[in-house]
Structure 1
Amino acid sequence: MMSSVKVECVVKGSALVGEGPVWEESDQTLLFVDIVGQKIHRWSPTTNHIQSMQTGDMVGFAVPRRSGGYVAGVGRSIVAFDWSNQTMTSLAEVDTDKPKNRLNDGKVDPSGRLLAGTMGRMSPLEVVERKQGALFSLASDLTVTKHFNQVDISNGLDWSLDQQTFFYIDSLALTVDAFNYNTHTGHMSNRHVVYHMEEGEGLPDGLTVDAAGRLWVACFNAGRVINIDPTTGVRLQTVSLPAMKTTSCCFGGPDYSDLYVTSASLGLDQSERRDQPLAGGTFRVTGLEVKGRPSNSFSG
């Protein structure tokens, strides 16, 4: 690792499962969720102030909406969130035949379409019911499309710079996959593996694509984020973090040169908690000498 790289814990509250960081350019804040803590957080690096909102059920993701407010995955519902008056309105329901499922990671494509996946709801012991999930998209007219099923844990989503490749992670498969993607129709095809996790890299979780088209993948249970070249499948860099359950990442800051990384504290035993006092915190990595891209907002 380059010596100029610095990792600091910027949000110290220990989230049970911190996830889904999104940089909001308009007010220079970091939006992220605590899935099991059932909260959406907004943190300002300039004031170090955090605002939180309760969701009443597990919340997999929250993303900005072009018309204002946010769209979040709460339980099996995709909901519109009005932060100012703290209200939620359901826009769509997924996996209606699988009451134990819940939405996990979600992200908006370059056309403003929301993609979000589900998984078999974890027991308190973090046991996942296998092959229960699916990947869905929600169009601006609120129609839901199911793209494929047989998913264990739907995670990491983002798009290539030319918008023609969709990157996707099903965590227990231990791979980062790619699809050919049509951003106008949302159609995806030709699923293939771009990276196989190596020994010690844990489970692939959230991911983001930088301005050079490279992938940054949070490695759950491995305390690191890895940087991958998707064209060669080569790992270029590893950033170590003081929390083993690293969950997701995004670029932010005034010029998108800061990498924000979320983490979880759920499931750590007493000795692990002693060794990882910052588990569940949100970290900022500086000095990577790369930049990210602005996130997309839901068009519906």
Structure 2
Amino acid sequence: MMSSVKVECVVKESCLIGEGPVWEESEQTLLFVDIAGQKIHRWSPTTNHIQSMETGAMVGFAVPRRSGGYVAAAGRSIVAVDWSSRTTSRLLEVDQEKPKNRLNDGKVDPTGRLLAGTMALEERPAVLERKQGALYSVTSDLSVTKHFDQVDISNGLDWSPDEKVFFYIDSLALSVDAFDYDTHTGDMSNRRVVYRMAEGEGLPDGMTVDVDGRLWVACYSAGRVICIDPETGVRLQSVSLPVMKTTSCCFGGPDYSDLYVTSASLGLDQSESRQQPLAGATFRVTGLGVKGRPSNSFAG
């Protein structure tokens, strides 16, 4: 299967920290953010055209909203995004007692509930005050629940195809964890490790789940995306990319068989930048022989 896998750079515009790719089925576009560049991007594979807007704060993620537009993480705030006017309006704020925190990755569960995590501001990539973050959920009426704290870098999250398991990454823990998940209440319990990163696999960052329930995890500082069977804890596949700081991934394309992978350029020295001219670009991986699922939209 690996012999047919192809990796191509599709968005050459370099991001300081490209993150949170989401495939928009209705628009057939890829939505992603540049965290440190404080921008939200939309790229069309049909026209190869990219549209962007500035957020005025570090932006951890952007996801579609059922009522139109998007919701995004800007600093410690969840904001509504009006794409036509390129403006944002604040809906709520988390970690009010921690002004040196920010929101990082976020995703919407099968019922339309938004889950989003926080972390301390970094001194440099992956160097920060530890145990300052938390994981929150936001319901359609904008009620906020804190599920747990003592998080270092709240990162990848997704759900099993049967919606009964929630997968979660705290990057510096070097593991992918699972919880039993109740989609009706949003409650999560029975936390356990389903995969521990091996030597040379870097930090687990963004993540997506395919239709068969396997996890695809971007490995920051290791230049790859790995596929994990959460039932056995076995790595099934590894896809190498021409950049070291792979940050996140999602499935997209007309039949969700393309894997889109974001990357970062922030923190590279001159030598590393010369060796990785595509650092910060976005890539498309084809020929994996698997498919992903449509993303969920926030119900609020």
For the criterion TM > 0.5, the same-fold answer is yes
The alpha carbon displacement at 1:203 in A equals: 0.1
Secondary structure of 1:208's match?
strand
- Greater Cα offset, 86-95 or 58-67: 86-95
Q: Which residue of 2 aligns with 1:194?
A: 194
The alpha carbon displacement at 1:124 in A equals: 4.3
Residue type of the partner of 1:12?
Answer: K
Equivalent residues in 2 for 1:37-116 (5 A)? 37-116=37-116
Per the alignment, do residues 229 and 126 of structure 1 end up closer, same or farther by CA in structure 2, a change over 3 Å counting?
closer
Residue type of the partner of 1:127?
Answer: V
> Are the aligned partners of 1:117 and 1:135 in contact in 2 as well (CA < 8 Å)?
yes
- Say yes or no: does 1:231 pair with 2:256: no
**TM-score normalized by the length of structure 2:** 0.99
- Say yes or no: does 1:220 pair with 2:220: yes
- Say yes or no: does 1:174 pair with 2:200: no
Secondary structure of 1:3's match?
helix
The alpha carbon displacement at 1:65 in A equals: 0.1
Task: Give the Cα–Cα distance (whole angstroms) in 1 for the partners of residues 108 and 23 of structure 2.
Answer: 13
The alpha carbon displacement at 1:87 in A equals: 1.6
Equivalent residues in 2 for 1:277-292 (5 A)? 277-292=277-292
Task: Give the Cα–Cα distance (whole angstroms) in 1 for the partners of residues 263 and 184 of structure 2.
Answer: 34
Identity percentage over the alignment?
81
Q: Which residue of 2 aligns with 1:208?
A: 208
Residue type of the partner of 1:273?
Answer: S
- Render the CA deviation track for 1:67-96: whole Å, top value 9, x for unaligned: 000000000000000000112111110000
Residue type of the partner of 1:229?
Answer: D
- Say yes or no: does 1:34 pair with 2:34: yes
- Render the CA deviation track for 1:216-262: whole Å, top value 9, x for unaligned: 00000000000000000000000000010000000000000000000
The alpha carbon displacement at 1:125 in A equals: 5.8
Task: Give the Cα–Cα distance (whole angstroms) in 2 for the partners of residues 100 and 205 of structure 1.
Answer: 21
Task: Give the Cα–Cα distance (whole angstroms) in 2 for the partners of residues 124 and 86 of structure 1.
Answer: 29
- Render the CA deviation track for 1:19-39: whole Å, top value 9, x for unaligned: 000000001000000000000
Residue type of the partner of 1:285?
Answer: V
The alpha carbon displacement at 1:127 in A equals: 2.0
> Are the aligned partners of 1:126 and 1:267 in contact in 2 as well (CA < 8 Å)?
no
> Are the aligned partners of 2:125 and 2:266 in contact in 1 as well (CA < 8 Å)?
no
Q: Which residue of 1 aligns with 2:13?
A: 13
Task: Give the Cα–Cα distance (whole angstroms) in 2 for the partners of residues 187 and 18 of structure 1.
Answer: 30
- Render the CA deviation track for 1:143-196: whole Å, top value 9, x for unaligned: 010000000000000000110100000000000000000001000001000000
Task: Give the Cα–Cα distance (whole angstroms) in 2 for the partners of residues 128 and 188 of structure 1.
Answer: 27
Task: Give the Cα–Cα distance (whole angstroms) in 2 for the partners of residues 251 and 50 of structure 1.
Answer: 19
Q: Which residue of 1 aligns with 2:153?
A: 153
Residue type of the partner of 1:245?
Answer: K
Residue type of the partner of 1:30?
Answer: L
Task: Give the Cα–Cα distance (whole angstroms) in 2 for the partners of residues 44 and 138 of structure 1.
Answer: 29
Secondary structure of 2:112's match?
coil
Residue type of the partner of 1:21?
Answer: P
> Are the aligned partners of 1:154 and 1:171 in contact in 2 as well (CA < 8 Å)?
yes
Task: Give the Cα–Cα distance (whole angstroms) in 2 for the partners of residues 287 and 182 of structure 1.
Answer: 34
**TM-score normalized by the length of structure 1:** 0.99
The alpha carbon displacement at 1:126 in A equals: 4.9
- Render the CA deviation track for 1:27-57: whole Å, top value 9, x for unaligned: 1000000000000000000000000000001
> Are the aligned partners of 1:18 and 1:34 in contact in 2 as well (CA < 8 Å)?
yes
> Are the aligned partners of 1:194 and 1:233 in contact in 2 as well (CA < 8 Å)?
yes
Task: Give structure 2 stretches of 5+ with no counterpart.
Answer: none
Aligned residues: 300
